[in-house]
Amino acid sequence: MLILAVCGLPASGKGEFAEVARRMGLPVRSMGDMIRAEVEARGLEGGPEVFGQVAVDLRAEHGDEVLAVRLADAIDSDVPVPVLVIDGMRGTAERRVFQQRWGDAFEVVAIHADPDVRFARTQARGRAEDGSHAQFEQRDARERGWGVEVLMSEAEHALVNRDPLSAFHADAERLLKSVLPDA
């Protein structure tokens, strides 16, 4: 089994990459969904500051690797598949957990996108964790602090997400086909 963890700054296209994987029949596990579930479990009203604070609180309470450990345990209990995609790896501590767990069966995909394009996408998608331009910049800074740019610079695979979206989808599909057994 190959585990591909997708990283990138907010609204770079990680979810779009994951959607291409799903359409190809590949399982996807989302780290962002874990935060959204935690917000719900805590009975909080979701908003840009709330999602960010819960992510920070979880890391402060349980260590920077908390989400990776939880997700890796869940993946290890899944039925084995040829390729599984992790949507939304954010930090170097998470990568360490995944590398220790899966070794050479783990690779990183970096998604790059222009900041102005990313902000425009946050405004169009309407997620509870998206907000103003200042909140967008705070979110970028928080994720940079976790090491997302290091992950992106050291990734085994890299894609640039620019318009049209169909071109990015085609690039993502090509990458995924290239790592599938019998590719």
Burial of residue 166, with CB atoms counted within 10 A of its CB: 0-12 exposed, 13-18 middle, 19 or more buried: exposed
Choice between 52 and 151, residue whose per-residue pLDDT is larger: 151
**Residues 111-138 pLDDT 10s:** 999 999 899 888 887 776 667 888 888 8
The number of domains in the chain is 1
How far, in whole angstroms, is CA 4 from its chain's centroid?
Answer: 10
pTM for the structure as a whole: 0.87
> What CATH number is attached to the domain comprising 104?
3.40.50.300
Provide the residue range defining the domain that includes 129: 2-179
CA angle 104, 156, 55 (to 5 degrees): 90
- What are 145's two structure tokens? 């602090």
